[in-house]
């Protein structure tokens, strides 16, 4: 049974409530939680605004979208339809989605419009602030001092990335190797994902106990928070980075907005949550070097 804890910062944003959620076995085993928009953002309305801008952008002409392409700077701006395969071993075609990346250094971003820039920048800053609010409780759940993770997410050097995604209305088909987003784990620390309130999100997580894919349906106006490989490593395996994928039914397009909450390149990831008498399972590694290793594995 996959139980996903819900975090409500408006109600139990107190140190205690948050710490309890992160300390729960359900969170540790699945690495997934829901977070209510209310209390997490200064203005929850900004999520709706971002989805509206996202729709406008992805509905714009080929020419407008391609203008936001950054061939020389991958990982910024527009990424074309089906240009990625997150699970190459099971996929016959590229994932049925297109995307738009936003990075911290404002001047590097490629904005299709001032309205999009405005909404996305506000949202980016709110999500960075939300991630920072989670860090003390995460530290406490790991048995280290509250400020432990803070220095690694300094405002001038963190590597948080916001991404707008549009999945086409095609039908995913596992047997045919057609996925909206192929099975993968996130490589970083934490992902905070916004989905539209349409009831059936298409997001699925792999349940190792039953060896089945289980749909993840957040309550309306809730984010999906999940642990990535970096935090699994950082927590010495306490928090699981769980495989997930997106399957679409072919009825309609799907929009989502993941925010990847990542530290500075110079952050040294040294396993915490190492119990008495236990040994660390991983050697310390600089985040920048860890990323290079990941890319080398992905593209070898
Ligand atoms: O769109 C989604 O629901 C999930 C996307 C995702 O898993 C990712 O971008 O890493
Ligand atoms: Fe993901």
Is residue 178 assigned to a domain? yes
CB 222 within 8 A of CB 41: no
**pLDDT recorded at residue 299:** 64
Confidence of residue 275 (pLDDT cuts 50, 70, 90): confident
What is the rounded average pLDDT of the residues 136-148? Answer: 94
Q: Which one of 95, 180, 196, 203 would you pick to mutate in the ligand 1 pocket, going by the greatest count of ligand atoms within 8 A of its CB?
A: 203
Return the closest-CA partner of residue 238 out of 271, 205, 207: 271
**pLDDT recorded at residue 297:** 77
Is residue 168 assigned to a domain? yes
Is residue 257 assigned to a domain? yes
Return the closest-CA partner of residue 239 out of 127, 128, 138, 153: 138
Q: Which one of 79, 100, 215, 258 would you pick to mutate in the ligand 1 pocket, going by the greatest count of ligand atoms within 8 A of its CB?
A: 258
177-227 residue pLDDT tens? 999 999 999 999 999 999 998 756 899 999 999 999 999 999 999 999 999
What is the sign of the dihedral through the CA atoms of 213, 4, 252 and 179? negative
Q: Pairing relation of β-strands 97-103 and 161-167?
A: antiparallel
69-110 residue pLDDT tens? 876 677 899 998 999 999 999 999 999 999 999 999 988 998
Quick check: pTM over 0.90? yes
| Residues whose CB falls within 8 Å of the CB of residue 122, separated by 6 or more in sequence, listed in order | 46
**pLDDT recorded at residue 66:** 86
Is residue 139 scored above 70 in pLDDT? yes
> How many CA atoms are closer than 13 Å to the CA of 287, on its beta-carbon side?
22
**pLDDT recorded at residue 19:** 87
Is residue 1 assigned to a domain? no
From the CB of 203, is ligand 1 less than 6 Å away?
yes
CB 3 within 8 A of CB 92: no
Burial of 70 (0-12, 13-18, 19+ CB in 10 A): middle
Is residue 45 assigned to a domain? yes
CB 59 within 8 A of CB 99: no
**DSSP assignment, residue 152?**
G
Q: Which stretch of DSSP H or E encloses residue 34?
A: strand 32-36
Q: Pairing relation of β-strands 212-215 and 222-227?
A: unpaired
- Split into its structural domains, the chain has a count of 1
The ligand with the least distance to the CA atom of 164 is 1
Task: In whole angstroms, give the CA distance from residue 137 to residue 145.
Answer: 10
**pLDDT recorded at residue 244:** 98
| Residues whose CB falls within 8 Å of the CB of residue 176, separated by 6 or more in sequence, listed in order | 92
CB 54 within 8 A of CB 164: yes
What is the rounded average pLDDT of the residues 40-56? Answer: 96
| Parent domain of 213 | 6-298
Distance 155 CA to ligand 2 centre (A): 24
What is the distance between the terminal CA atoms of the chain, rounded to a whole angstrom?
36
Q: Could you tell me how many helices (H) and strands (E) the chain has, helices first?
A: 8, 14
Q: Write b or e for each residue in 92-104: b if 16 or more Cβ atoms lie within 10 A of its Cβ, otherwise e.
A: eebbbbbbbbbbb
* CATH classification at residue 294: 2.60.120.330
Total residues found in the chain within this entry: 300
CB 264 within 8 A of CB 157: yes
- Atom 1 (ligand 1): residue with closest C-alpha? 256
């Amino acid at each position: 049974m996959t139980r996903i804890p819900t975090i409500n910062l408006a109600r139990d944003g107190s140190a205690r409530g948050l710490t309890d959620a992160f300390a729960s076995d359900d969170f540790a085993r699945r690495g997934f939680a829901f977070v209510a928009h209310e209390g997490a953002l200064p203005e929850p309305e900004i999520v709706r605004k971002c989805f509206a801008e996202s729709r406008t952008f992805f509905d714009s002409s080929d020419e407008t979208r391609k203008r936001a392409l950054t061939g020389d700077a991958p990982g910024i701006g527009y990424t074309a339809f089906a240009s990625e395969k997150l699970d190459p071993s099971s996929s016959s075609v590229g994932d049925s989605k297109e995307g738009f990346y936003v990075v911290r250094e404002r001047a590097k971003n490629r904005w299709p419009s001032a309205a999009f820039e405005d909404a996305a920048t506000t949202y980016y800053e709110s999500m960075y602030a939300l991630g920072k609010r989670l860090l003390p409780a995460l530290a406490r759940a790991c048995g280290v001092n509250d400020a432990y993770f803070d220095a690694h997410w300094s405002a001038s050097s963190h590597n948080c990335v916001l991404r707008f995604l549009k999945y086409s209305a095609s039908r995913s088909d596992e047997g045919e190797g057609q996925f909206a987003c192929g099975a993968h784990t996130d490589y970083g620390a934490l992902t905070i994902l916004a989905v539209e309130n349409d009831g059936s999100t298409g997001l699925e997580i792999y349940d190792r106990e039953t060896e089945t894919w289980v749909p993840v349906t957040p309550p309306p106006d809730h984010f999906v928070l999940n642990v990535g490989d970096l935090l699994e490593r950082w927590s010495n395996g306490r928090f699981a980075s769980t495989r997930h994928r997106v399957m679409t039914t072919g009825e309609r397009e799907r929009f989502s907005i993941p925010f990847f909450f990542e530290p500075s390149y110079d952050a040294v990831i040294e396993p915490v949550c190492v119990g008495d008498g236990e040994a660390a399972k991983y050697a310390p590694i600089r985040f920048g070097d860890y990323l290079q290793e990941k890319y080398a594995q992905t593209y070898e």
